[in-house]
Amino acid sequence: MLSDYRRIFSPAGTLLFSAAGFIARLPLAMIGVGIITMLSQLGVEWWLAGSVSATQALAAAAIGPQISRLVDRHGQRRVVLPAMAVTVAAIGALLLCARYAAPAWTLYITAAVAGCMPSMGALVRSRWAEIYLQSPRLLHTAYSLESVLDEVIYVVGPALAITLSTSVSAEAGPLAAAVLLAVGVLLFAAQRRTEPPVRHESQRPGGSVLRIPGLGLLVLTLTSVGVAYGSVEVATVAFADAHHHKGFSGLLLGVYALGSGLAGAVFGAIRPRGAITRRLLVSVCAMAVTMAPLLFAPSLAALAGMLFVAGMAIAPTLITAMGLVSHLAPAAQLTESITWLVSGLSVGVALGYAASGWVVDVAGASAGYRVPCAAALLAAATVSLALPRLTRAGVQ
Number of residues assigned to the chain: 396
Residue bearing the bigger pLDDT, 3 or 200: 3
How far apart are alpha carbons 353 and 155 in whole angstroms?
17
pLDDT for the residue 204: 58
Instruction: Give me the domains of the chain, ranges plus CATH numbers.
Output: 1-198 (1.20.1250.20), 203-396 (1.20.1250.20)
What's the predicted TM-score (pTM) here? Answer: 0.83
pLDDT for the residue 201: 64
Long-range contacts of 88-95 (CB under 8 A, 24+ apart): 88/178, 88/181, 88/182, 89/113, 90/114, 90/116, 91/31, 91/174, 91/175, 91/177, 91/178, 92/178, 94/35, 94/174, 95/38, 95/171, 95/174, 95/175
Question: Quick one: which of 394, 396, 367, 350 has its CA closest to 53?
Answer: 350
Give, to the nearest 10 degrees, the angle between helix 249-269 and helix 314-328: 50
| Alpha-helical segments (H) within 190-275 | 215-242, 249-269
Percent of the residues in the chain that have a pLDDT greater than 70, as a whole number: 95
**DSSP at 199:** P
Kindly tell me if the per-residue pLDDT of 155 is higher than 80.
no
> pLDDT-derived band of residue 304, with 50, 70 and 90 as boundaries?
very high
